[in-house]
Amino acid sequence: MKASKFLRVAALTAALAGVGVAAQAQTVLKIGYATSPTSHYGVGSTVFCEEISKGTQGRYTCQQFPSGALGGEREMIESVQLGTLDLVNTSTGPLGNFVPEVKIVDIPFLFRDYDHARKVMDGQIGQNLLAKMQDKGLVGLAWTENGFRHMTNNVRPIVQASDANGLKMRTMENKVHMDGYKTFGILPTPMAFPELFTALQQGTVDGQENPIPVILAAKFAQVQKHLSLTNHVYSPAVIILSPSVWSQLSDADKQVFLNAAKAASAAQRKKVNDDEANGIALLRKDGMQVVEQVNGESFRQAITPAYAEYAKEFGADNIRAIQAVQ
Ligand code: PAF
């Protein structure tokens, strides 16, 4: 274990109490995520940190780096791979650039609803994808969640796919998304999330797409007029640990970390549910004009040509296997 990777503090509590017990090392792990501490990522990461501390009697604790303090998600994943960051709670947006098999879950209109998405990610398909991360120097502990993505913009309300035509929209650095969005006539502009607020403010792009918890946490109501509940793609998230930490853990501690990630996932998903339930009213109060009844069928029809390409890349059977999960 390299000293530079961890802040190691010798906790000599027993010795200080006058008991002749060996010093217990405490390891402080750095965890990064893109949004604020009170957001869904903050809620999930806090539960993860509390659980590992509880489960290891304080031998492992965390220092949280929210709000993209350590860079965009692509940079944070890279840092975890290199071992310069211990943990990241990240969407799959840039993850397919590291673990290509994961890209399949970024296909627009693949998942019917939250229940379907969560069953797939927690079931065999999702678990196989977590296992694939190991080959690429990443330890996927559990799927958390970002949520279903919706479109915002400053030009016009989007009710059907043709309304999105010609809009310059920031997307994640994700080719699966970009290929799909092009079929709606959108001009996709990939950009790291930390640059997005300013880009919207300055009109570099007309809009963006993100789940309600992100739209709330990033205060996009300040810089975006229209919100349409397009639900056009599910955005999974995952807690990833650096293999350099994983390889140092005892079997019992590994189990504590896995359980902690599951508890984090439950808490993060609950926060997504709560934000979906309460967030629209808050965004309206902050001045956004919200289209709740979007013509989803028009988007599904528009994206048909991209599905032919997805089938070639990922295999029609694999796509059908995800769709078939009940
Ligand atoms: O739009 C994105 O890049 C992601 O949804 C975000 C906000 C970083 C959360 O994962």
CB 256 within 8 A of CB 56: yes
Beta-strand relationship, 168-171 and 289-291: unpaired
Q: How many domains does the chain fold into?
A: 1
- Give tens-digit pLDDT for 103-137: 999 999 999 999 999 999 999 999 999 999 999 99
Give, using CA atoms, the residue closest to atom 10 of ligand 1: 91
- Assess if residue 258 is contained within a domain: yes
Q: Which domain holds residue 289?
A: 26-324
Instruction: Say yes or no to pLDDT of 21 above 50.
Output: no
Whether residue 238 is contained in a domain is answered as yes
Residue 3 pLDDT exceeds 80: no
Closest-CA residue to 199 (of 72, 69, 39, 92): 72
- For residue 212, pLDDT beyond 60: yes
- pLDDT tens profile 27-62: 999 999 999 999 999 999 999 999 999 999 999 999
Whole-number Å distance, alpha carbon 140 to ligand 1 midpoint, is: 18
Q: What is the CATH number of the domain that holds 291?
A: 3.40.190.170
Q: Indicate if the pLDDT at residue 15 is higher than 90.
A: no
The atom number, within ligand 1, closest to the CA of 208 reads 1
The ligand 1 atom at the shortest distance from the C-alpha of residue 211 is 5
Residue 15 belongs to a domain: no
Choice from 92, 146, 189 to test ligand 1 binding pocket (greatest atom count within 8 A of CB):
146
Best CA proximity match to 220, nearest among 145, 154, 156: 154
Would 253 be classed as within a structural domain? Answer: yes
Torsion of CA 215, 257, 73, 63, to 10 degrees: 80
**Residue 65: inside a domain, yes or no?**
yes
pLDDT at 24: 76
Ligand 1 interacting residues, C-beta cut-off 6 A = 34-35, 73, 91, 93, 146, 172, 193, 210, 214, 235
Instruction: Provide the pLDDT confidence category of residue 291 given band limits of 50, 70 and 90.
Output: very high
State the Cα–Cα distance between residues 108 and 92, nearest whole angstrom: 13
Position 23 confidence tier, pLDDT thresholds 50, 70, 90: low
For the segment 284-307, the average pLDDT, to the nearest whole number, is: 98
Rounded to the nearest 5°, which phi and psi values hold at 63?
-120, 120
Report yes or no on whether pTM surpasses 0.90: yes
Residue 81 lies in a domain: yes
Task: Report how far ligand 1's centroid is from the alpha carbon of 237 (Å).
Answer: 9
Q: What average pLDDT does range 14-27 have in this prediction?
A: 57
| Domain contains 288 | yes
Mean pLDDT, all residues of the chain: 94
User: Which ligand 1 atom is nearest residue 170's CA?
Assistant: 1
The predicted-structure confidence for 135-185, as pLDDT tens digits, reads as follows 999 999 999 999 999 999 999 999 999 999 999 999 999 999 999 999 999
Distance in Å, CA 100 to ligand 1 centroid? 19
Task: Say if 2 falls within a structural domain.
Answer: no
Question: Which atom of ligand 1 is nearest the CA belonging to 94?
Answer: 3
Which has the higher per-residue pLDDT, 72 or 10? 72
What is the structure's pLDDT at 227? Answer: 99
Residue 6 has pLDDT above 60, yes or no: no
Residue 10 has pLDDT above 50, yes or no: no
